[in-house]
Structure 1
Amino acid sequence: MLDFFKKRKAKKAIKSTFKEYGHKIKQFDIDEYGRVEYAQWLHPFEGPKSVTKSQVNFYKEFAEEGQMIIDIGAHTGDTTVPMALAVGQKGIVLGLEPNPYVYKILEENSKLNQEITNIVPLPFAATIEDGEFVFNYSDASFCNGGFLSQIKNRKHKHNYELKVEGRDLQKFLNENYADRLSQLSLLKVDAEGYDKDILNGLSNLISTYRPNIMAECYKRLTKEEREELYDAMAKHGYTVYMNDIHYLSDGFVDTAKRVKLTKDTMSIKKHFEIIAIPN
């Protein structure tokens, strides 16, 4: 019992004290790709990350070699790296991460495996307009968080504020990647409840290029917010699914147990991943 209280006290101290953490390089041997390196963030609340063949194959279902993926809420690159392996060096993955402490790790991952990947890290959030915004995090060293002031539930327990840069992503893409947007095959959004706003801000891009969409139904969204998230995809002629991903010791494997969703079934589960496929 004494050890329990000591550990809880130590965790509380870590949570409330700012510290900038570095990274270590992990190596994974993957069939077809050889040795793949990954920069693991050493923040104590960051779980161990891996890169596996099953992860790469999952993204290959939605994007082919040479195509474009946009990873919004890339964090340290744990999704960005397998995405980049899926589309290869001739493809491109744009990874957005506004948290400067996390972005440093994402940037390190973009420098690794360059002979077989092409990752462009971008140090800003996808917002409705350009500007400076306040994000909320669950600890003083800014491990997990997002634009939580934009959801209706204020009991999110993310009390540490961080100012970040936000950009109108639709405008940024038109100005910088207009020549590649026709190759956009997958748009992934993981923004702690802000997903619907991002998707609505990219409405023209979605209706024009019709990429596959991955999003997250955040656990603290209200029924109304869940319905708005559904509409942000379905209004473009997409079929929306709850994606059942089983997490294994070597990474995640998509079991293909996808449940078709309607606006009325968006509360089928508290927190889940979404796959939206253009009809």
Structure 2
Amino acid sequence: MFNYLKESFARKKARRVTSKYPHEVNSFQLATEGVVEFANWKNPLIPAKSITQGEINFFRQLAPLGSFCIDVGANIGDTTVPMALAVGKEGLTLGFEPNPMTYEVLEANSRLNKAKTNIVPLRYAVTEEEGEFIYSSSEASFGNGGVSSTQQEADQHGKFKLQEKVQGINLLTYLNQYYNQYLPKLSFIKVDVEGHDIDVIRSISTLIDQYKPALVAECFSEATLDERVELYRIVADHNYSLYYFADFEENTEVVKLSEQDMNRWKNFNFYAISNEKL
């Protein structure tokens, strides 16, 4: 009972009072990868993550060994790390995360598993237009949140705001400038940016058409029906097929999506594959 009350108090405090939380490195023994380490954030609102072989195998179906993949909205690296393990040391994984609270843990995770991964953490938001943006969250520990160009938009993400603005970059421009040599190996892009996934996907339309990477994106819980349909169409119009999947696990439930299915679940992830690669 005492531990329950203590944990409950810690969660309430994290929702209301901004504090800096440390991270803890945990080890996992996997069937194929062997021993893998992951830095878990000790934020009381964030459940500890376990790295599983099934999750790595899920990503490996979309991002083969030695390829180039990108995690937009990487948070602490909970998908970045298994993604990077999937493509291996010979591949490259970029993790974009503008929130300094979670970026610190992402950076710690990029230093682990160096013999098995090649992760580059980048403290940027991915936006259509480059510039400085307000970062806001619904809770004081900043375990989640999003970027906005105006105060009114920021209030929709939550009442807690970072004191300093975050830098937004156009992904297509950035990749052409700094990672142009890796683009022919581009296999996979994951986008999870609190309802702005469509903006990111729109900004990399040229990249999608040229290299046809597999995509993972989120259909945000607050998205309207029109926004959900628009998200479906902007991906499908690249000659992609979309699939709902229940979890980042190898044998997860998968459902091929139609436009009408976009309102079937309140909040869900989908992956999309070019019909030329099916």
TM-score calculated relative to the size of structure 1: 0.90
**More helix by proportion, 1 or 2?**
2
Q: Deviations over 1:89-126 (max 9, x none)?
A: 01000001000111011001001111110000010010
Specify the alignment match of 2:170 in structure 1.
168
What is the one-letter code of the residue matched to 1:183? K
Alignment pair present for 1:159 and 2:159: yes
Give yes or no for contact 1:233–1:276 (8 Å, CA) kept in 2: yes
Give yes or no for contact 2:136–2:159 (8 Å, CA) kept in 1: yes
Specify the alignment match of 1:69 in structure 2.
69
Q: How many Å apart are 1:64 and its aligned residue?
A: 1.0
1:234 to 216, 233, 236: 236
Q: Structure 2 CA distance, aligned partners of 1:48 and 1:97?
A: 19
The count of corresponding residues between Structure 1 and Structure 2 is: 272
3-state SS in 1 of match to 2:62: coil
3-state SS in 2 of match to 1:82: helix
Specify the alignment match of 2:116 in structure 1.
116
Aligned-residue sequence identity (percent) comes to 43
TM-score calculated relative to the size of structure 2: 0.90
What is the one-letter code of the residue matched to 1:198? V
Specify the alignment match of 1:249 in structure 2.
none
Q: Structure 2 CA distance, aligned partners of 1:276 and 1:148?
A: 27
2:270 to 266, 271, 274: 274
What is the one-letter code of the residue matched to 2:187? S
Runs of 5+ unmatched residues, structure 2: none
Q: How many Å apart are 1:32 and its aligned residue?
A: 2.5
Give yes or no for contact 1:148–1:193 (8 Å, CA) kept in 2: no
Specify the alignment match of 2:224 in structure 1.
222
Q: Would the alpha carbon gap of residues 89 and 10 (structure 1) be closer, same or farther in structure 2, given more than 3 Å must change?
A: closer
Q: How many Å apart are 1:160 and its aligned residue?
A: 1.0
What is the one-letter code of the residue matched to 1:226? R
Q: Structure 1 CA distance, aligned partners of 2:256 and 2:263?
A: 13
Q: Deviations over 1:199-228 (max 9, x none)?
A: 001111011100000011111100011011
Q: Deviations over 1:120-177 (max 9, x none)?
A: 0010010012111112212112111113679x99995622123321111110000011
Q: Structure 1 CA distance, aligned partners of 2:87 and 2:57?
A: 11
3-state SS in 2 of match to 1:192: coil
Q: How does 1:235-274 map to 2 (within 5 A)?
A: 235-245=237-247, 252-274=248-270
- Kindly report the root-mean-square deviation, in angstroms, between the aligned alpha carbons of the 2 structures: 2.5
Give yes or no for contact 1:214–1:274 (8 Å, CA) kept in 2: yes
Runs of 5+ unmatched residues, structure 1: 246-251
Higher mean displacement: 230-239 or 27-36: 27-36
Q: Would the alpha carbon gap of residues 223 and 268 (structure 1) be closer, same or farther in structure 2, given more than 3 Å must change?
A: same
**More strand by proportion, 1 or 2?**
1
